[in-house]
């Protein structure tokens, strides 16, 4: 009996194997498959570890066309910041859906960062004005980095600003991303300064309350909100949600987990029919994109397992061709 072999890929391997431009294309296809019912995505399991101020998420998925199934295990521990461990840690396991054999194990934090950024890239491509050129990023962590990278992959961004309550982190972000993307990145003194003239806004923070004021949003702006994933946590002001056209990754999950939408709904400010459009429907041409240049569009993402599976599948394919990773025998 032959032994199953799988490929182990580090975070560096994952990043080499999945350039952002490819990742955006992969996410657009994954969302289209999701909205057309071609993939199986069971509800993710959210396990709170109150004693350790942490959360663990278990996210399974299956794509028959890809012939892959998989699961991502991701942990988010607030106290890790005090011990110099990553706030987010994760593994993605991919299995051959034709025989059940494990074929890949890889760093899930890199997959999460890339696919989350790429999802916003796909949303920006579908919903932002074609002439969008100024980006504002809230949150100077890894997620903020891939958000800006993805936006720059789909629009000609000539200026970017970053705001973070940690000024040193924002300064490091500006220097690093300015060099890597060849785009001037400024550190904004406050949220109002960050939003001045912004065409695309990305929020990737761990904030519990809105990170900007609705009055500071420009007409025609597109917003990618990816930071909050709990019903009682939000980054976006309720007033912005009320007047925006809302597009989500998966409506059922968003209405269970996205505090940005749930809290205004509970307050009676919006109804269920305010949240009816999935990004996959827009990408697939089943729902319209931006209606006019003054419309405010909001993509709210809490993350869907099919994103991880699609990204991991592309990583495995590219890694094999590039000779990346370590092949292990079980």
pTM above 0.85, yes or no: yes
The C-alpha atoms of residue 15 and residue 22 are separated, in whole angstroms, by: 11
Q: What is the CATH number of the domain that holds 262?
A: 3.40.50.720
CA atoms within 13 A on the CB side of 134: 13
Do 51 and 141 have their domain in common?
A: no
Read off the pLDDT of residues 107-132 as tens digits, 9 standing for 90 and up: 999 999 999 999 999 999 999 999 99
Mean pLDDT of 78-96: 91
Q: Are strands 5-9 and 159-163 parallel, antiparallel or unpaired?
A: unpaired
Q: What is the CATH number of the domain that holds 103?
A: 3.30.1780.10
Do 41 and 137 have their domain in common?
A: no
The per-type count for the chain, helices as H runs and strands as E runs, is: 11, 15
Do 134 and 254 have their domain in common?
A: yes
Answer yes or no: is 15 within a domain.
Answer: yes
Q: Which residues pair with 246 in a beta bridge?
A: 298
pLDDT of residue 88: 84
The C-alpha atoms of residue 252 and residue 213 are separated, in whole angstroms, by: 27
Answer yes or no: is 123 within a domain.
Answer: no
Answer yes or no: is 118 within a domain.
Answer: no
The C-alpha atoms of residue 225 and residue 260 are separated, in whole angstroms, by: 9
Long-range CB contacts for residues 176-181, cutoff 8 Å, separation at least 24: 176/145, 177/145, 177/148, 177/149, 180/149, 181/148, 181/149, 181/152, 181/157
Calculate the CA 177 to chain-centre distance.
18
Do 25 and 167 have their domain in common?
A: no
Read off the pLDDT of residues 60-81 as tens digits, 9 standing for 90 and up: 999 999 999 999 999 989 899 8
Answer yes or no: is 155 within a domain.
Answer: yes
**Does the structure show a pLDDT above 70 at 1?**
no
Do 31 and 48 have their domain in common?
A: yes
What residue has token string 């932002």?
128
What domain range is 222 assigned to? 128-303
Read off the pLDDT of residues 219-277 as tens digits, 9 standing for 90 and up: 999 999 999 888 999 999 999 999 999 999 998 889 988 999 999 999 999 999 999 89
Query: How many independent structural domains does the chain possess?
Result: 2
Do 100 and 149 have their domain in common?
A: no
Do 92 and 159 have their domain in common?
A: no
Do 144 and 261 have their domain in common?
A: yes
Do 177 and 245 have their domain in common?
A: yes
């Amino acid at each position: 009996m032959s032994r199953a072999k799988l490929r182990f890929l580090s975070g560096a391997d994952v990043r080499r194997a999945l350039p952002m431009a490819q990742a955006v294309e992969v996410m657009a296809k994954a969302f289209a498959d999701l909205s057309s019912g071609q993939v199986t995505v069971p509800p993710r399991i959210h396990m709170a570890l109150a004693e350790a101020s942490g959360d663990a998420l278990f996210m399974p998925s299956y794509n028959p066309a890809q012939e892959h199934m998989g699961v991502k295990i991701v942990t988010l521990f607030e106290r890790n910041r005090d011990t110099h461990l990553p706030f987010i840690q994760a593994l993605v396991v991919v299995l051959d859906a034709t025989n059940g054999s494990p074929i890949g194990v890889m760093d899930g934090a890199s997959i999460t960062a890339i696919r989350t950024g790429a999802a916003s890239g796909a949303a920006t491509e579908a919903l932002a004005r074609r002439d969008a050129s100024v980006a504002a990023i809230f949150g100077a962590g890894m997620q903020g980095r891939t958000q800006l990278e993805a936006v720059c992959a789909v629009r000609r961004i000539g200026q970017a600003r970053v705001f973070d309550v940690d000024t040193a982190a924002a300064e490091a972000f500006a220097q690093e991303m300015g060099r890597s993307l060849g785009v001037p990145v400024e550190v904004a003194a406050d949220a109002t300064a960050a939003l001045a003239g912004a065409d695309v806004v990305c929020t990737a923070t761990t904030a519990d309350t809105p990170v900007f004021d609705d009055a500071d949003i420009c007409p025609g702006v597109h917003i990618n909100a990816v930071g909050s994933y709990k019903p009682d946590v939000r980054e976006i002001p309720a007033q912005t949600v009320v007047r925006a056209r809302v597009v989500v990754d998966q409506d059922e999950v968003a209405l269970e987990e996205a505090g940005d939408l749930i809290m205004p709904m509970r307050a009676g400010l919006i109804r269920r029919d305010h949240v009816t459009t999935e990004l996959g429907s827009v990408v697939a041409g089943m729902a319209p994109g931006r209606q006019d240049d003054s419309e405010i569009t909001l993509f709210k993402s809490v993350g869907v397992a099919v994103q991880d599976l699609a990204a991991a599948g592309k990583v495995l394919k590219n890694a094999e061709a590039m000779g990346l990773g370590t092949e292990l025998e079980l």
